[in-house]
Amino acid sequence: MILGLASPFVILMLYAVTPPAGYDIRREIRALLRVVALLWLAATLLVPVAVVWLTTRRHRSPLGLEVPNRRPDTPTETRRIRLGCTVALLGLVVIAIAIPGNVHGPRWEMYAAGDIRTLISGQESFRSANGRGYGTLECLAEPPTCLPGYSGPTFLDPKLLKPQRHLYVFTFHAGPAVPVGAKDAPYPGARLLSRYAYSAVPTDTDYVQTSLCGDDTGRICRAEPGAELKVTDARCPDPCDLLR
């Protein structure tokens, strides 16, 4: 109870203290809240298990499981066993639901890499369709805007036009343009690119620390946790740590 009464004052003190320049005090608050949440979730399991153990200690069955030739003496003990096991099971469900998905860094990295692979695949299909080069994100989502006369399917889900998703900020790096009006172009006047790169930088390094990059070579590079991944002239760093 004392800790509970003191918590608001501790948080207020954290806000009141002037942090050094460039220091984000919100990280400390988030870390504190995560610890409190995990302790509460642990209590949802440990408290009912302790109740069951205290109820059934004579039967040497901490979870209320039946031991040969030994059963609870009264219906009240049986009800307590069932109640304790039920609460413990509900605690597991609460943990599965309540723990935020954004604490799992590898999961978000996998999602970001999947979006980069989707773009690379779309770019290759787009290049096969026009026979010359690549396009911007808007071009892949709406091909007629850069391929005059095109009436086929699109090459990119418009949802991927949103720059911020999966705890990452995605950036499209356009390379040099393919000369307009080339004789062998199936779509005269098409606005195409000779190469491109697509990078993903974490928005919150508390949860995700790895930057990613994909380009027209088909590779996906990943930076070391916390390191900057530089894109130069629409090319991912070379050499790079390839994402398998």
Does residue 211 share a domain with residue 110?
Answer: yes
Angle at CA of residue 120, ends 214 and 178, nearest 5°: 95
- Looking at the structure, tell me whether residues 159 and 213 fall in a common domain: yes
List pLDDT tens digits, range 121-175: 999 999 999 888 999 999 999 999 998 889 989 999 999 999 999 899 999 999 9
Asked whether residue 83 falls in the same domain as residue 108, the answer is no
Structure tokens at 20: 């050094």
52 and 173 together in one domain: no
Confidence class for position 4, pLDDT limits 50, 70, 90: very low
Amino acid 73: pLDDT: 55
Residue owning tokens 């390094």 = 205
Return the pLDDT at 201: 94
What Cα–Cα distance (Å) separates residue 9 from each residue in 2, 13, 31, 35, 40? 11, 6, 17, 17, 20
CA-based torsion, 46, 49, 51, 56: positive or negative: negative
Residue 176 banded pLDDT, cuts 50, 70, 90:
very high
Which structure tokens are listed for 129? 């369709």
Q: How far is it, in rounded angstroms, from Cα 113 to Cα 54?
A: 50
Q: Which residue has the higher pLDDT, 1 or 53?
A: 53
Q: List the beta bridge partners of residue 164.
A: 169
Q: Are residues 42 and 72 in the same domain?
A: yes
- Give the three-class secondary structure for 86: helix
Residue for token pair 């009264």: 74
Q: Residue 111: which domain range? A: 103-242
pLDDT at 184 over 60: no
Question: So what's the pLDDT on residue 56?
Answer: 53
* pTM score, whole prediction: 0.62
